[in-house]
C-alpha cells in the first residue's frame, strides 16, 4: 500500500470524485433516454479505462460497473489478469493487429473493431475454441483509412465474412464520430448503414456509438452500446 507522504495529491477525494462522475454520466444517460423515448434497458454503458490502472477498474466494479473497454492489447491483458478474481465483461475497442487477435480473445468477450477481412480470418480459429465471441463491424465515417473501420462500400462483404465464420456472433456496427463534425448526423449515417446490414443479418441491430462528448446524440440516434471514458474516469494519465 503506497502512502502519499508529501500530501500533494488529491488521492483522498478520488473515490468520491469517481463515484460522482459516474453518477453524473448515468443521470445524463437517463435524461437522453427519456428525451429519446427509449427504454434504459436497451443500453449498455461500457466504461473505457485505457491508460488507467487496474485499481481504477476495481473501484468502478465496486460501484457496480460491469462492462469495461480497452484499446491496446498490451495494456488490456495485464489488467484482465489482475482482475481475474472479478467477473467483468471486457470490450476491445481499439484497432486490432491480426497477429494479436488470438491473444485478445483470451480475455475479451466483445470485439468492437472488426474492420477487415484479414482480421476476421485471424479471429476465426481462436473464436472456434472460445465460447462464441460477439463482434461489431467498425464503420469508418472519414476518408482516412488510418482512423480504422471499414469503408461503407465494403461493409456487406465484411459482414458476409463474419456470418460465414463459426464462433463469431455479429452484433452490429461500431463507429466514432469524426472530429469537428456534427455527431448527430454522423450517428444518423451509422443508423442508415445498420439498416443495410440488417438486410443481410437481421439480428445484427446493435449500435456501438457515443463517447464522453457525444453520448446524448448517440442515444437519440439509437445507440445500444455507449463507450465512455474520460467523463467517468477523469483525465487519462500519460497519453490519450
Ligand X SMILES: *Cc1c(COP(=O)(O)O)cnc(C)c1O
Residues near ligand X, by CB under 6 A = 48, 50, 71, 93-94, 176, 211-213, 227-231
Task: List, as own/partner pairs, every contact residues 69-72 make where C-beta atoms lie below 8 angstroms and the sequence separation is at least 24, other chains included.
Answer: 69/93, 69/112, 69/227, 69/229, 70/94, 71/95
Nearer to ligand X, 48 or 120 (CB): 48
Strand bridging mode 168-174 / 110-114? unpaired
What is the Cα–Cα distance from 112 to 172, expressed in whole angstroms?
9
Task: Give min distance, CB of 21 to ligand X, in A.
Answer: 11
Q: Of the candidates 168, 174, 171, 169, which has an alpha carbon nearest to the alpha carbon of residue 209? A: 174
In the chain, what is the straight-line distance between the N-terminal and C-terminal CA atoms, in Å? Answer: 27
For residue 8, the tally of other CB atoms under 10 A from its CB is 7
Task: Give min distance, CB of 233 to ligand X, in A.
Answer: 7
Nearer to ligand X, 193 or 223 (CB): 223
DSSP letters along 5-68, please? TT--S-GGGHHHHHHHHHHHHHHHHHHHHHHHT--GGG-EEEEE-TTS-HHHHHHHHHTT--EE
Nearer to ligand X, 159 or 232 (CB): 232
Provide the grid cell at 154. 465494403
Task: Give min distance, CB of 11 to ligand X, in A.
Answer: 22
Provide the grid cell at 220. 437519440
Task: Give min distance, CB of 235 to ligand X, in A.
Answer: 9
Nearer to ligand X, 101 or 228 (CB): 228
Task: Give min distance, CB of 7 to ligand X, in A.
Answer: 29
The residue with its CB nearest to ligand X is 229
Nearer to ligand X, 159 or 176 (CB): 176
Nearer to ligand X, 63 or 200 (CB): 63
Task: Give min distance, CB of 214 to ligand X, in A.
Answer: 8
Amino acid at each position: 500500500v503506497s502512502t502519499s507522504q508529501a500530501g500533494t495529491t488529491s488521492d483522498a477525494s478520488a473515490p468520491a470524485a469517481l463515484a460522482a462522475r459516474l453518477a453524473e454520466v448515468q443521470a445524463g444517460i437517463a435524461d437522453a433516454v427519456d428525451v429519446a423515448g427509449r427504454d434504459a434497458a436497451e443500453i449498455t454503458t461500457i466504461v473505457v479505462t485505457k491508460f488507467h490502472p487496474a485499481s481504477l477498474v476495481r473501484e468502478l466494479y465496486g460501484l457496480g460497473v460491469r462492462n469495461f473497454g480497452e484499446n491496446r492489447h498490451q495494456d488490456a491483458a495485464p489488467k484482465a489478469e489482475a482482475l481475474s478474481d472479478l467477473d467483468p465483461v471486457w470490450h476491445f475497442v481499439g484497432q486490432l493487429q491480426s497477429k494479436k487477435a488470438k491473444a485478445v480473445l483470451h480475455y475479451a468477450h466483445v470485439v468492437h473493431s472488426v474492420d477487415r477481412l484479414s482480421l476476421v480470418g485471424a479471429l476465426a480459429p481462436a473464436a472456434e475454441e472460445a465460447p462464441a465471441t460477439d463482434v461489431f463491424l467498425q464503420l469508418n465515417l472519414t476518408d482516412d483509412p488510418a482512423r480504422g473501420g471499414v469503408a461503407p462500400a465494403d461493409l456487406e462483404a465484411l459482414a458476409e465474412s463474419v456470418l460465414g465464420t463459426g464462433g463469431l456472433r455479429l452484433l452490429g456496427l461500431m463507429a466514432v464520430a469524426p472530429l469537428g463534425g456534427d455527431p448527430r448526423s454522423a450517428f444518423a449515417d451509422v443508423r442508415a448503414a445498420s439498416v443495410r446490414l440488417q438486410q443481410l443479418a437481421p439480428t445484427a441491430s446493435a449500435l456501438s456509438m457515443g463517447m464522453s462528448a457525444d453520448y446524448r446524440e448517440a442515444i437519440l440516434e439509437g445507440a445500444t452500446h455507449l463507450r465512455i471514458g474520460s467523463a467517468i474516469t477523469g483525465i487519462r494519465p500519460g497519453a490519450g
